[in-house]
Amino acid sequence: MAFLGNMKVVANKGIEGDHHFGKTISRQVLLMDDKSLMAFGLEPGQIRENITISGMDIHGLPSGHKLDIGEATLEITGHCKPCSRMDELRPGLQVKINKRRGMLCKVIKTGIINIGDPVARLDD
C-alpha cells in the first residue's frame, strides 16, 4: 500500500490512479477510522483502505450520509464486507472485523484530499 500526500477524487469515478477508478459507483473510496484499526491491532493501510480518518467513528454513519474531506465530498454507500484477505493478515480477522471493515463511498464532488484535511459531516 502506497501512502500518498494527496489524492484527486473525481465525481462518479473515484480516485485517480486507483484500480477501481470508473468501474463502480458504490466502491469508489474505502474509508476507515483509526480507532477501529487500533482496536484490531492494525496499522493504517493494512486493510487496504483508501483513507484513514481520526476523530470520528464512521461505522455508525448511514448510507447516503455526506462527508466533506478537503475539497471533495463523499457519500457513504454502505459497509465494506470483509474478504478473505483479512484472514491473510490474521486468522479469524474476516469474521471479527465484520461491520468494522470500513465504509464504502462514492465521490459526489471532485477535489483534492490531502493528509491532515479535516472531515466534516454534512447531514447532521
For residues 27 and 13, which has the higher predicted lDDT (pLDDT)? 13
DSSP 104: E
Q: What is the CATH number of the domain that holds 45?
A: 2.40.33.20
What does the block give as the cell for 1? Answer: 500500500
Q: Is residue 1 included in any domain, yes or no?
A: no
The answer as to whether 67 is a domain residue is yes
Alpha-carbon gap, residue 110 to 31, rounded angstroms: 16
Q: Given a cut of 70, is residue 3 above it in pLDDT? A: no
Q: Give the range of the structural domain holding residue 49, as residue numbers without chain letter.
A: 6-121
pLDDT value at residue 1: 52
The DSSP element (H or E) to which 15 belongs, if any, is strand 14-15
Number of domains in the chain: 1
Q: What number is the average pLDDT over the span 3-27?
A: 89
Q: Which three cell numbers stand for residue 115?
A: 493528509
- Higher pLDDT: 8 or 6? It is 8
Question: Cell 474476516 maps to which residue?
Answer: 94
pLDDT, one tens digit per residue, over 38-77 is 999 999 999 999 999 998 989 989 999 999 999 999 999 9
Q: Please list the alpha-helical segments (H only) found in 30-80.
A: 34-39
